[in-house]
Amino acid sequence: MKLYDDDAPVARSAPLGAGPAKSEERVRGREIPLRAMRGMIASKMLQSLQSSAQLTHHAGAELGAVQALREHCRARNLTPPSVQDILLRLLVQTLAEFPALNATLEDNRITEHPAVHLGLAVPLPDDLLLAPALFDAQAIRLGALPQARRHLVAQAQAGKLGVRELAGATFTVTNLGRSRVHHFTPILNVPQVAILGIGGTTWRAAPAADGGVRLAEVIGLSLTFDHRAVNGAPAAAFLDRLGERIETLAPDAFDHELID
């Protein structure tokens, strides 16, 4: 399936020395047609906001236990999984406890899905974005998750995905972890009822075991949900549980998933 229109006009900057065209662009500004894939994505985002009751909860979780797991892997000569992949694995486990979040809402009917088809927001050239599905994510071991994720991203960026991958997710994750943005408001990928935004990290003062103060690395978590399907309390409970999983992760928690 093509993800673009070969016949759609493409906005181009005037070449150097183009004279009148360059002068006109300087006065009027560069025009970018809202067509093809950009137009399709824009329409979907507008539809999302107009057709659902979106609300966002913000939370944070300390990453000390996650970093300790990665150090544990290095000490055992294992390739440490990225923070992102560890968070994705913990997210999938948490969704198993909160089926109301792994759901879609269509035709006034909520469907809670038995499998987690995890949508991963993938940036494309020209600031475009797709969220293809990593199917049956609950069955993907942490050791296999990086390769599965990278393959999906590569397929998306190469324009090789079909309708099934582009429309089959039951819950989506979007990641701004490399930025200074700690919290943000993700837009639902309807008909899904929830999406998690992973923000950047910051250092905060936290209570120490000896009664003093310590510095803690904290990652931002932002959950947007459709209030028609999920109320505020269970959405908050989901974030609480995910944060608890992140902060209490044992260093050897995934040894069985990292060793063949």
Catalytic site positions: 227
Among candidates 212, 206, 211, 186, which has minimal Cα distance to 247? 206
Please give the Cα distance from 11 to 259 (Å, whole number). Answer: 50
Please give the Cα distance from 223 to 234 (Å, whole number). Answer: 11
CB-based contact 45:187 (threshold 8 Å): yes
CB-based contact 217:63 (threshold 8 Å): yes
Which residue is it, tokens 């103060």?
Answer: 213
Using the Cα atoms of residue 39, residue 43, residue 46 and residue 52 in order, give the sign of their dihedral: negative
Token readout for 125 is: 């050239």
**Radius of gyration of the CA atoms of the chain, in A:** 21
Among candidates 259, 244, 251, which has minimal Cα distance to 61? 244
How many beta carbons lie within 10 A of that of residue 259, not counting itself?
A: 9
Please give the Cα distance from 23 to 204 (Å, whole number). Answer: 50
The amino acid at residue 251 is P
Indicate the DSSP class of residue 248.
Answer: T
Token readout for 16 is: 């150097």
CB-based contact 36:8 (threshold 8 Å): yes
